[in-house]
Structure 1
Amino acid sequence: MHTGYHARIGKAAAIPINPSSPVLSFSPVVLPAPGRPVDLELRVTVPSTGDALPIILLSHGHGRSNSLSSLEGYAPLYEFWAAHGFAVLQPTHPSSAFLGLGAPEGQELFWQARAEDMVRILDNLDAVEAAVPGLKGRLDRTRVAVAGHSLGAWTTSMLLGASNTDPRDGSTWYKPEPRIKAGVVLAGIGNGGADISASGKNLIPFYGGDFSKMTTPALVVYGDEDAGPHLTIRDADWHADPYTLAGGQKDLFIVKGAKHGLGGISGWDAGETLDESPERLAAVQRMTWAYLKSQLYDGDKSWLEACKAVDAEIGRVESKSS
């Protein structure tokens, strides 16, 4: 019998989830943004029914695709999360190839503006609700999470409390967002300084990340085959740094055999995914959903049950409280 999920998700099917519902996706929602190069556009994806919807802010990466690094990408995540009860709000950041904007010196990849986009969305939830038919009054503003992939994972880390000291001039950025209660860091950027490769210093010259004050609860997800010499001199475990170097309650999901695409999270059948796997993708979908559900709802057992169910051939989980 057809379950609504890919026939090849394999052992990931054992990771429990709640019943799914049809979703509604609406874009673009346009928020006026004085001082930004262009107005802020976002996609809003929600379950077709239900109220008091918890919110996930989703930050896209900076991949080489023409469109996935925008509100047009990450359908495998936003569709799944929405089908299982979340409202997913995802902007097109100024760094998107879709916009073709050049970032000022010191703001390469619009790294600060990406975090500011998420704050702007939270500041304008009334306008978001008003713009989407049938959404008014359905968002639970007390339950907000953030998730991001690659460069979007750094955006996520900053909102969770990571700071950045630009190695060129010593200026520090530290602006945690207190309305965000939990996060998911997907294939994130690790420690800076001596761990950055020569090409990395050219690609992200602003980067001097410090995770020591990133105390908001977070799940860090990375693939054990995600080596990135274009950014770091270290192996795949560099992506675990937002877990190992951060304080507070943190969890880690290491996806076996995964590369930077984590099985295909950035888009269906996307050419930039070097490790496409319905099973791997399903595991990431289910584990991230379970983590956020348990973080946002006291007493929820979804994460505990997911950790017990995940097969060692798919990946393994670690956790720490300080």
Structure 2
Amino acid sequence: MSESTYAADVFGSPTPVLSVSPVVVPAPGRAVDLEIRVSAPVTGGDLPVILLSHGQGYSNHLSSLNGYAPLVNFWAAHGFVVIQPTHLSSRTLSLDPNTPGAPLFWRSRAEDMMRVLDQLDAIEAAVPQLLGRLDRSKVAVAGHSMGGHTASLLLGARLTDPDDGTEVNLTEPRIIAGMLLAAPGRGGDALTGSTAENFPFFLTTDFSTMTTPALVVAGDKDASPHLTVRGPEWHTDPYLLSPGPKSLLTLFDAEHGLGGVSGYDVAETTDESPERVSAVQRLTSAYLRTQLNPGDSAWQAACHALAAGPRPLGRVESK
């Protein structure tokens, strides 16, 4: 099956998408109220939900509810409701650098996703086109880069709080599947000295408890020398060091932007490739379709299509 035939057979024509932002979710105790974007197909019911956690790149607005349009638009056009928070780490908020949890707000990021799930009734009321259309039994989390770290915590990864030495468990049982895109790997001696010093919460990341099913997406040219001394293989740790069921999509020649998933034509994408982005769109959508609907063959078909071309864009392995 060719890529084009696969896309037509499995996904069909995209549905028009409605996108509403900012939807404000009251958040007592948070530095500011939580603002989210909600994107959904204009038709259809029993829609699964993807919570999308943004990364922490150089641009101001990609790291907010305004980023990741290539993924959000595709997912929503093919049957998912996508909810994107602006985490406290976003430059768009211009918070005081002395705000507790700054600069990356690792704990608050995960709590943002829990707050969204707690407030789905209010979110539906704020976006009346969604009323009665969500399937709350089918919730997934996705995250890119620092957002991948956030997603890993919600999927069951643990760490030790560097401030008080306690083990942190932010596993969210309402999330039944996840996708980690260019996510950070293990800590310890895998980190650069500056990362260990400035972001000590990375030091103790433990994937052995990350039991929720997940797809890990990594670029084989994503060296991330500002974070790790291990090179591109560091981003495969969430797959290699966690228990199954897990799948790993390794994208050939992909760097941290995975071809440009964080936005259209953005300057910080060092490996711009519409073909690579298209592969990420299709494979992530297919993975969640099959994971949330056992018996759906979309994932198997996507993997077959990826391998069938004369110059595959990547490879998939599973455990």
Which TM-score band applies after superposition, normalised by the shorter structure? over 0.9
**Aligned residue pairs, count:** 310
In the TM superposition, residue 164 of structure 1 has moved relative to its aligned partner by: 1.0
Secondary structure of the corresponding residue to residue 310 of structure 1:
helix
Distance 2:122 2:34 in 1: 12
Q: Which amino acid aligns with 1:230?
A: H
Q: Which residue of 1 is the match for residue 314 of structure 2? A: 315
Which consecutive residues of structure 1, in runs of 5 or more, have no partner in the other structure? 1-10
> Is contact 1:106-1:206 (8 Å) kept?
no
Secondary structure of the corresponding residue to residue 201 of structure 2:
coil
Distance 2:268 2:135 in 1: 34
- Structure with bigger RCO (C-alpha 8 Å, 6+ apart): 1
In the TM superposition, residue 13 of structure 1 has moved relative to its aligned partner by: 3.4
Distance 2:267 2:70 in 1: 14
CA 315–15 in structure 1, closer or farther in 2 if over 3 Å, else same: farther
Q: Which residue of 1 is the match for residue 171 of structure 2? A: 176
Distance 2:273 2:205 in 1: 31
Moved over 2 A (4+): 11-17, 102-108, 166-171
Secondary structure of the corresponding residue to residue 134 of structure 1:
helix
Mapping 1:80-91, distance limit 5 Å = 80-91=74-85
Mapping 1:1-322, distance limit 5 Å = 12-13=3-4, 15-16=6-7, 17-19=10-12, 20-101=14-95, 102=97, 104=99, 108-166=103-161, 169-207=164-202, 208-311=204-307, 313-320=312-319
Which consecutive residues of structure 2, in runs of 5 or more, have no partner in the other structure? none
Distance 1:73 1:107 in 2: 21
Secondary structure of the corresponding residue to residue 240 of structure 1:
helix
List per-residue Cα deviations over 1:124-179 (Å, max 9, x = no partner): 00011110131111111000000000000000000000001145653221120000
Secondary structure of the corresponding residue to residue 109 of structure 1:
coil
CA 269–12 in structure 1, closer or farther in 2 if over 3 Å, else same: farther
In the TM superposition, residue 194 of structure 1 has moved relative to its aligned partner by: 0.9
Distance 1:159 1:168 in 2: 20
CA 277–211 in structure 1, closer or farther in 2 if over 3 Å, else same: same
Of Structure 1 and Structure 2, which has the larger fraction of its residues in helix?
A: 2
Distance 1:316 1:70 in 2: 30
Distance 1:62 1:203 in 2: 15
In the TM superposition, residue 284 of structure 1 has moved relative to its aligned partner by: 0.4
Distance 1:75 1:172 in 2: 35
Worse overlay, 131-140 or 165-174: 165-174
Secondary structure of the corresponding residue to residue 115 of structure 2:
helix
List per-residue Cα deviations over 1:49-100 (Å, max 9, x = no partner): 0011100000000111011000000000100000000000000000001112
List per-residue Cα deviations over 1:169-193 (Å, max 9, x = no partner): 5322112000001000000000001
Distance 1:70 1:55 in 2: 18
In the TM superposition, residue 206 of structure 1 has moved relative to its aligned partner by: 2.0
> Is contact 2:89-2:102 (8 Å) kept?
no
Identity of aligned residues (%): 60
> Is contact 2:101-2:108 (8 Å) kept?
no
In the TM superposition, residue 267 of structure 1 has moved relative to its aligned partner by: 0.3
